[in-house]
Amino acid sequence: MNRWTRLLRTAAVATGLAVAALTASAQASGRIKDVASVQGVRSNQLVGYGLVVGLDGTGDGNNVYTARSLSNFMQQMGISLPPGTTVQPKNVAAVLVTAELPAFARPGQTIDVTVSSVGSAKSLRGGTLIQTPLRGADGQVYALAQGNLVIAGAGASAGGSSVTVNHLNAGRIPNGALVERTVPTPLLLGDAVTLSVRSDDFQTATRVAAAINRAIGDGTAQALDGRTVQVRAPRDPNERVAFLASLEDLPIETSAPRARVVFNPRTGSVVLNQAVKLSPAAIAHGNLSITITSAPQVSQPPPFAPPGAQTVVTEKADIQVKQEGGKLLEVEASAQLADVVRALNKLGANPQDLLAILQALKAAGALQAELEVL
């Protein structure tokens, strides 16, 4: 039994004792894998340009790049078109194909791909993607995509009217790409591995290093900054994988999240976490609304009007300006999320106005939270 095997067994015993202790004390706890990941172990984005064929007259039509792409593909298949031939492929659409190449993916494995139209195609439903190389950021081909699209939607048109359910210009091909190249990872290089903390938090990084040192031994892990923890690891690949598996299951006490308010102006959504607090403040909020209506008026010539008199159509505009008064409302200090919600509901503001109120509270020092606009 070597040194690292004994340390891993000791870590397993320490893990069981730590879990029991945390359960008994009913403290908020988690695992290292919940707050950190091994640096260098990540997915890679792939993208490619291709053609979808077999559409029912819903393709790009007379798009220049679609016709040229189809001509180039036919030439690769040994079919040469006469000079001056114009191709209008109504059953073909130009598309972009995207995929995520997971870490440790090996040649021969399959991954899902997403296909999106880049031309004027009305629908990709029923189409088949022909072989498309997927390239990484370095320009190398890492996968080949091909297959029948799955479109979660339907549409019909007749007589100038159309009905569409869901989105028809984007779909997926499950297991539609075959991996051709492996992306090297630095997992087995050097005498140490690096854990990346998902949030920029010095306390979490310190707790991760402390949990590893308690389970394995002092000096095994060192927190370099708020996001990086360096851990000494065995060089043998089998022992290193088992070592990392043991580390990921070590329990740690999770710290409270940062107070944050997230606002999405496109949907009007406002989300507050449980750490948001309010200090005493007074708020006055009013709305200014301007309404403009226009109605056509027809002026006809009177009877026996001279020749050349015509009917004239004029527009009558009605402009109304309304300003709602905003009373001064006192907001009491609160440390609970439910109290913060009740205090904001008293203002009677819609989600769009709520962002302005929260920004003003933040500027006045009454809102103890970070504002994030998506």
DSSP string across 193-227: EEEEESS--HHHHHHHHHHHHHHH-TTSEEE-SSS
| pLDDT in the model for residue 28 | 54
Residue 141 lies in a domain: yes
Residue 189 lies in a domain: no
Domain boundary pick from 147, 179, 211: 179
Do the beta carbons of residue 310 and residue 301 sit within 8 Å? yes
| pLDDT in the model for residue 109 | 94
Clarify whether residues 26 and 48 are in a common domain: no
Read off the tokens for 298.
């027809």
Strand 251-253 to 277-278 pairing: unpaired
Clarify whether residues 93 and 166 are in a common domain: yes
178 or 5, which is more confident?
178
Residue 106 lies in a domain: yes
What DSSP line would sit under 33-99, residue for residue? HHHEEETT---EEEEEEEEEE--SS-S--S-HHHHHHHHHHHHHTT--PPTT-----TT-EEEEEEE
Q: Per-residue b/e over 42-55, b at no fewer than 16 CB within 10 Å?
A: eeeebebebbbbbb
User: Among candidates 336, 357, 343, which has minimal Cα distance to 284?
Assistant: 357
The CA-based diameter of the chain, rounded to the nearest angstrom, is 118
Domain boundary pick from 122, 145, 179: 179
pLDDT grade for 114, boundaries at 50, 70 and 90: very high
| pLDDT in the model for residue 251 | 85
Residue 24 lies in a domain: yes
Q: Per-residue b/e over 336-352, b at no fewer than 16 CB within 10 Å?
A: eeeebeebbeebebeee
Residue 303 lies in a domain: no
Clarify whether residues 95 and 60 are in a common domain: yes
Clarify whether residues 280 and 213 are in a common domain: no
Clarify whether residues 48 and 141 are in a common domain: yes
Clarify whether residues 95 and 137 are in a common domain: yes
Please write the tens of the pLDDT for every residue from 51-104.
Answer: 999 998 888 887 888 888 888 888 888 887 777 666 778 889 999 999 999 988
Clarify whether residues 265 and 233 are in a common domain: no
Report d(CA 274, CA 281) in Å as an integer: 20
> Percentage of the chain surpassing pLDDT 90?
17
Clarify whether residues 60 and 168 are in a common domain: yes
Report d(CA 264, CA 251) in Å as an integer: 34
pLDDT grade for 187, boundaries at 50, 70 and 90: confident
Please write the tens of the pLDDT for every residue from 309-324.
Answer: 777 777 666 666 555 5
Residue 334 lies in a domain: yes
Residue 306 lies in a domain: no
Domain boundary pick from 131, 151, 179: 179
Please write the tens of the pLDDT for every residue from 161-173.
Answer: 555 556 788 899 9
Residue 32 lies in a domain: yes
Q: Is the pLDDT of residue 14 over 50?
A: no
* Model confidence pTM above 0.75: no
Clarify whether residues 101 and 64 are in a common domain: yes
Strand 281-284 to 277-278 pairing: unpaired
Clarify whether residues 67 and 25 are in a common domain: no
80 or 117, which is more confident?
117
In the block, tokens 């015509």 appear at 310
Clarify whether residues 171 and 278 are in a common domain: no
Q: Which domain holds residue 100?
A: 44-179
> How many folded domains does the chain comprise?
3
Q: Is the pLDDT of residue 31 over 50?
A: yes
Clarify whether residues 48 and 35 are in a common domain: no
Q: Is the pLDDT of residue 125 over 80?
A: yes
